[in-house]
Amino acid sequence: MLVFEFPGISSLQDLGRHGYQNQGVSVSGAMDTLAARVANSLVGNPEQLPVIELALGGMAVRVQHSQCFAITGADLQARCDGTEVPLCKPIWLDAGSRLEFCAPVRGCRAYIAVAGGFYAEPMLGSAATDARAGLGGFHGRNFRRGDTLPYAKQSAPLKKSVSWHTSWANPDFDETAALPCIEGPQWALLPKPLQQDFLENSWLLSRQTDRMGLRFDQALRGEFETPSLLSTGVVFGSVQLPPDKHPIILGADRQTTGGYPQIAVVAGIGHRALAQAKPGEQLRFQMMEVEQALQLWRRRERHFREWQQHMQQWWHA
């Protein structure tokens, strides 16, 4: 098991609780689902097993049982007993080791997987933590100091081999690139000057940003009267425009419906960069057609599946 000496902002997440939004249950799950999938694949797990999501560092855990781990996503200066731990590579940690994470060098959220998986009781088919609802994960909450998280014991140490590679295991997320978006259902309601303002300016992420939504410090400039709308379903990446005209991008712990205009939706290919953006950074938006966004996502998914198959062959060779 892992013993949390300092938890930071960490929780247990998987790929989300799907199929219950019509009953008011949030999807939750990892903000960076690709990084979570990669972490599990690196240790030979099915990609949907729960992992630890850590935001912005500040975590230290004690390893109670020797096991194979993997860390993906943001570079949070991982150290094991003072020695640097590589990202995106299976690593063997001995019992008694102390794994710690410091301030972020790049990105926002790191993911930790263990061979065999962390033990968690599924709720509505998922171990994802929804802290606002007290659902799933570790007693329905983020980790606290002194918590112990069990995992399966490995019968043999990490294989000594140089035949595998993970050159694509942690795909790049360009912190300066514009987020690819498609038009939201209310995009056409925005006057042209506000559309131009939205696409041409950089947007500063507020310190109020969290897993529910990414909020911006500045507002759209220009006159716009928020229309009265019926609440409709929302998705990860929905860009809502509340009456104060400060856009909000919805995240993994979003509500299931929203009544604010949805002026844009961050395309799936941009979710990784969105999840890795941290408060104080600036984001930009770039509109693209739905078909272009789908092609980019399918290309990356095909590449990931090929790499995942390679890892499965290595583990089961």
Residue in 142, 147, 121 with CA at minimum distance from that of residue 61: 147
Q: How many domains does the chain have?
A: 2
161 shares its domain with 183 = no
Residue 310 lies in a domain: no
3-state SS assignment for residue 269: helix
pLDDT digits over 48-82, tens only? 999 999 999 999 999 999 999 999 999 999 999 99
163 pLDDT above the threshold of 50: no
Based on the fold, state whether residues 93 and 228 are members of the same structural domain: no
Task: For residue range 205-222, list pLDDT tens digits in order.
Answer: 999 899 999 999 999 988
Say if residue 10 is in the same domain as residue 53.
yes
| CATH number, domain with residue 281 | 2.40.100.10
Model confidence pLDDT, tens digit, residues 212-265: 999 999 999 888 777 778 888 999 999 999 999 999 999 999 999 998 999 999
On whether both 65 and 164 belong to a single domain, the answer is: yes
pTM for this one? 0.93
Q: Is the pLDDT at 286 greater than 90, yes or no?
A: yes
Q: Rounded to whole angstroms, how far apart are CA atoms 209 and 212?
A: 8
Mean pLDDT of 82-96: 91
Q: Model confidence over 1-51: pLDDT tens digits?
A: 999 999 999 999 999 999 999 999 999 999 999 999 999 999 989 999 999
Residue 232: φ, ψ to 5° = -130, 170
Q: CA separation (Å) from 220 to 127, 197, 264, 279?
A: 38, 7, 14, 19
Q: Are 92 and 158 in contact (CB under 8 A)?
A: yes
For residue 303, the surrounding DSSP H or E stretch is helix 290-315
Place of tokens 């008694």: 96
Structural domain that includes position 253:
179-295
